[in-house]
Structure 1
Amino acid sequence: MELIVISSPTPVSSEAENINRLFEAGLGVFHLRKPNSDLESMHQLISHIDPKYHDQIAIHQHHDLAAEFGLKRLHFTETERNKTQISELLKIKDRGMKISTSIHDISALNELSHFDYTFFSPVFDSISKEGYKSSVSADFVVEKPKNSPKVIALGGIHLGNIDLVKSMNFDGAAVLGSIWNKEESERIYILKKLLRKSSKQ
């Protein structure tokens, strides 16, 4: 099962160094989501992440930065997805890019065959968003239609419940609060434990 880390939406002290350490510890994919950051701030942050990790970074905003930094992953919010023609998404994929999106209703999988994967949230009560409550029952199991993209669980995932994500038939898990709400000294320890749990059969 794949593990993805999503950035804090707000600036973090020594953020690029923290991101580099996550990659060094074995992280495969990092989603850079900064909804309130301007182009220059995003440019500055990416420029301080080791270039050898750039093709493992998905960006949610300022997609034009992908070409400059050799990024191979673009994320489309639900709003952006609804404004983007399928033909345009297919052109992006033809350039060797991986594309992802987000849903909050599992029935939307029927419309996402051209995406590589999608986040589905909130699976558990959010750690980073107060009042953002689970939308699924404890016995929920993902039933993917034919040609469905991979489905990545998001929302409230931590060491105590990541095993449940597997039993729900998700292809992976994405974490945010369980990494960034910790002290800097704890983040790599938490990540390594999450990676071990997600890789177990």
Structure 2
Amino acid sequence: ERLLSLIPENYHKNIVVHDHFYLKGEYGLKGIHLNARNTQLPHNYKGHISCSCQSADELRERVRSFDYVFLSPLFDATREDGFSENFSARMLNEMAEKKLIGRKVMAFGNVDADNLPLVKSLGFGGAVILGDLWNRFNMHTNRDYKDLITHFRKLRRMAE
């Protein structure tokens, strides 16, 4: 809640909370995200809803009921082929061919500059970038955000 109070109000309409759903109403946020910790909609909730899916079956079942969904985990850098045990390259290609992947499906799970072109070619509506971006900034030692911002801009260009 403290962090939200530090973010200028004009950005609140872009924020989706994954916990503490009461903050959506208190701060005029965009919406809520259901996940393994929070699987149920709050009583009488009206507004933007997203969720996480960990399989093709779960995606097929839920994609129409939500504004967008995260499909994860897609990638695993520790595996030889780079894909997570949930999704192989063949499976993702089949999902794309069947139009299961589309504008409402966001690629999530170790998405980085190396696999972003594949994410784009499969037809995902977007990608969630965490480590590839945030691991570029150490709040204890870094003094500016130049490398972080430069890399963000590179990723954005790649995604366009």
- DSSP 3-state at the match of 2:106: strand
Runs (5+) with no aligned partner, structure 1: 1-42, 128-132
TM-score, normalised to structure 1's length? Answer: 0.63
Q: Choose the corresponding residue for 1:119, options 67, 70, 95.
A: 70
Q: Which of 1 and 2 has greater Rg?
A: 2
Equivalent AA in structure 1 for residue 66 of structure 2:
F
What does residue 190 of structure 1 align with? 151
Q: CA deviation at 1:125?
A: 1.1
Q: Distance in 2 between matches of 1:50 and 1:154?
A: 27
Distance 1:122 1:163 in 2: 17
**Number of residue equivalences:** 143
The residue type paired with residue 170 of structure 1 is F
Structure 2, gaps ≥5 residues long = 138-144
CA contact (8 A) 2:70 2:108 kept: yes
Task: Say if 1:153 and 1:173, in contact at 8 Å, map to a contact too.
Answer: yes
Q: Contact 1:126 / 1:156 at 8 angstroms: preserved in 2?
A: yes
Kept after mapping to 2: 8 A contact 1:104/1:121: yes
CA 98–84 in structure 1, closer or farther in 2 if over 3 Å, else same: closer
What's the offset of the Cα at 1:144? 4.1
1:166 to 116, 120, 124: 120
TM-score normalised by the chain length of structure 2: 0.78
- Equivalent residues of 1:124, 1:155 under 8 A apart: yes
1:109 to 59, 62, 65: 59
| Shift in Å, 1:165 | 0.2
Q: Distance in 2 between matches of 1:92 and 1:149?
A: 24
The Cα shift of 1:92 comes to: 3.0
What's the counterpart of residue 28 of structure 1?
Answer: none
- Cα deviation, residue 136, structure 1: 1.9
Query: Partner amino acid for 1:168?
Result: L
| Displacement after TM superposition at 1:102 (Å) | 0.3
For residues 10-49 of structure 1, the C-alpha deviation after alignment (integer angstroms, 9 at most, x for no partner) is xxxxxxxxxxxxxxxxxxxxxxxxxxxxxxxxx1000001
Give the aligned residue type for 1:73.
G
Ranked by relative contact order (alpha carbons within 8 Å, sequence separation 6 or more), the top structure is: 1
Q: How does 1:65-84 map to 2 (within 5 A)?
A: 65-81=23-39, 83-84=40-41
- Identical amino acids, percent of aligned pairs: 37
C-alpha deviation, 1:101, in angstroms: 0.4
Measured after TM superposition, the shift of residue 62 of structure 1 is: 0.5
> Which amino acid counterpart does residue 182 of structure 1 have in structure 2?
R
Question: Alignment partner of 1:100: what SS?
Answer: strand
Give the CA RMSD over aligned residues: 2.5
Q: Which residue of 2 aligns with 1:64?
A: 22
- Residue 101 of structure 1 aligns to a residue in which SS? strand
